[in-house]
């Protein structure tokens, strides 16, 4: 057991994410104070706002996530306060509750079903092959920046119907929107500006598409009726922004961190390289458990209640820590061992269940194994060529840089 003073842990503090031994701190919280209160310190973007409850055990995360009447999304899903208007502009139907949420999610639900995403199989395979091949002959690259991040950008943009020339910009905006909390005092302005630019871009694209419909998600969004009416360009823009934000950075993070994992656990890389078909599915789920690209989501209590014996008041913010649930000793055998064949693997990397479960999970499951398989096919003798650079965000477990060298196969 470690000797961390549980009272010294502040998950709202950016400093915690820069320095702390996260796993040890979360293990302490799960053991000693599974539902704990955190205040925003001076210097954080939310300084002056009321703090939040942190839920760190697996079963409690599932309980909160599953009760969408008691714990709602409509007042925002980030740890800071948001007006309802801001919450819609910066998360669209993720930040809504039944029945509004259900009706809007339905517009794209079939396209993102296991069957719907198979349409992207060939494109995902081709992009994986091409993106790895583009760096192969150099024998070195920044795997996070040059391979892992561009890959889902291409796949998601093809799926949505976003033209080639704006993809790099959309990715930059996504990084600011999701990991902008690392910017400190400038964060609120930068994050709001990134969301606004994406919303506006989506709105303009929707307007263009009305003149020239394609076989893509945005065309589907603007031609689907919701409650007997078409969605406006502005609403289509919010849809577009949510899907871009949710779909790029998350999957890129899994790709980048997959390399970090392989370098830390070379025998697991070998297992995957020897049998990419057989290991792809379980390996992907284990990467999502281990990395937990989206570390938390928040809900708001609608009435006085309790979680694991801790009283919670109506209106208080409750933040579910998926990264902690994914290492919960009561749920996973040897949670601190990275095992690409782990099965069963009931991780909460796509959320703790309930109505808001990740819409894009099947797309991520389809695309990412192609990238790993191509990497391990085209690159041999992979070794680090510098230190990985983590993004010290409180929200996403980002990886900004992962320099490697290798021999081309
Ligand atoms: C490995 C990659 C991914 C991870 C780890 C991930 C994680 C998550 C998590 C934790 C949530 C919140 C669940 C909840 O509150 O219960 C979520 C929601 C969502 N995700 Fe993902 N995601 C990934 C990929 C994607 C992709 C590729 C897309 C689409 C292109 C996507 C679209 C969404 C949407 C639209 C929501 C909101 C769902 C709702 O509110 O109904 N995600 N995701």
What is the token pair recorded at 342?
Answer: 């782990």
Whether ligand 1 lies within 6 angstroms of the CB of 219 is answered as no
Residue whose CA is closest, atom 34 of ligand 1?
Answer: 359
What is the token pair recorded at 233?
Answer: 């360009």
> Could you tell which of 90, 250, 348 is best to mutate to test the pocket of ligand 1, judged by most ligand atoms within 8 Å of the CB?
250
Per-residue pLDDT, 2 = 63
Distance between Cα 350 and ligand 1 center (Å):
6
Sequential pLDDT tens for the chain (409 residues): 567 999 999 999 999 999 879 999 999 999 999 999 999 999 888 999 999 999 999 999 999 999 999 999 999 999 999 999 999 999 999 999 999 999 999 999 999 999 999 999 999 999 999 999 999 999 999 999 999 999 999 999 999 999 999 999 999 999 999 999 999 888 999 999 999 999 999 999 999 999 999 999 999 999 999 999 999 999 999 999 999 999 999 999 999 999 999 999 999 999 999 999 999 999 999 999 999 999 999 999 999 999 999 999 999 999 999 999 999 999 999 999 999 999 999 999 999 999 999 999 999 999 999 999 999 999 999 999 999 999 999 999 999 999 999 999 9
CA dist 131 and 368 (Å) reads 13
Buried/exposed 181-217: b ≥16 CB within 10 Å, e otherwise: bbbeeebeebbbebbebbbebbbebbeebeeeeeebb
Distance between Cα 405 and ligand 1 center (Å):
32
Whether ligand 1 lies within 6 angstroms of the CB of 356 is answered as yes
CA dist 223 and 33 (Å) reads 50
Whether ligand 1 lies within 6 angstroms of the CB of 364 is answered as yes
Atom of ligand 1 at shortest range from CA of 248 = 27
Per-residue pLDDT, 322 = 98
> Could you tell which of 108, 360, 364 is best to mutate to test the pocket of ligand 1, judged by most ligand atoms within 8 Å of the CB?
360
Domain 6-408: CATH superfamily, name plus number: Cytochrome P450 (1.10.630.10)
Whether ligand 1 lies within 6 angstroms of the CB of 396 is answered as no
Whether ligand 1 lies within 6 angstroms of the CB of 93 is answered as yes
Global pTM reads 0.98
């Amino acid at each position: 057991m470690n000797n961390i003073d549980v009272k010294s842990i502040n998950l709202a503090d950016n400093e915690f994410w820069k320095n702390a031994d996260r796993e040890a701190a979360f293990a302490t919280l799960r053991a000693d104070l599974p539902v704990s209160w955190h205040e925003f310190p001076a210097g954080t973007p939310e300084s002056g706002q009321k703090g939040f409850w942190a839920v760190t055990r697996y079963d409690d995360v599932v309980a909160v996530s599953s009760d969408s009447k008691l714990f709602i999304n409509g007042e925002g899903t980030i740890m800071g306060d948001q007006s309802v208007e801001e919450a819609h502009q910066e998360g669209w139907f993720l930040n809504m509750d039944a029945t509004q949420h259900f009706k809007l999610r339905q517009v794209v639900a079939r396209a993102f079903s296991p069957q719907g995403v198979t349409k992207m199989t060939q494109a995902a395979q081709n992009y994986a092959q091409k993106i790895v091949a583009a760096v192969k002959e150099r024998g070195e690259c920044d795997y996070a920046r040059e391979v892992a991040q561009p890959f889902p950008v291409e796949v998601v943009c093809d799926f949505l119907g976003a033209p080639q020339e704006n993809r790099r910009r959309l990715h930059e905006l996504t990084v600011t929107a999701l990991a902008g909390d690392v910017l400190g005092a400038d964060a609120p302005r930068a994050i709001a500006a990134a969301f606004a630019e994406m919303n506006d871009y989506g709105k303009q694209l929707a307007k263009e598409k009305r003149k020239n419909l394609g076989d893509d998600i945005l065309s589907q969004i603007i031609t689907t009726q919701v409650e007997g009416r078409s969605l406006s360009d502005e609403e289509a823009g919010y849809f577009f922004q949510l899907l871009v934000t949710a779909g790029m950075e998350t999957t890129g993070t899994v790709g980048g961190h997959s390399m970090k994992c392989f370098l830390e656990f070379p025998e697991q890389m070998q297992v995957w390289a020897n049998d990419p078909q057989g290991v792809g599915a379980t390996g992907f789920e284990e990467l999502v458990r281990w990395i937990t690209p989206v570390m938390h989501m928040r809900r708001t209590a609608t009435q006085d209640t309790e979680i694991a014996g801790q009283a919670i008041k109506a209106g208080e913010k409750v933040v579910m820590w998926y990264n902690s649930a994914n290492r919960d000793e009561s749920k996973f055998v040897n949670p601190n061992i990275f095992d690409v064949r782990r099965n069963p693997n009931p991780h909460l990397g796509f959320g703790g269940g309930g109505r808001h479960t990740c819409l894009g999970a099947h797309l991520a499951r389809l695309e990412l194994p192609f990238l790993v398989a191509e990497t391990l096919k085209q690159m041999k003798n992979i070794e680090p060529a510098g230190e990985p650079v983590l993004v010290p965000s409180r929200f996403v477990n980002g990886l900004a840089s992962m320099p490697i060298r290798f021999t081309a196969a």
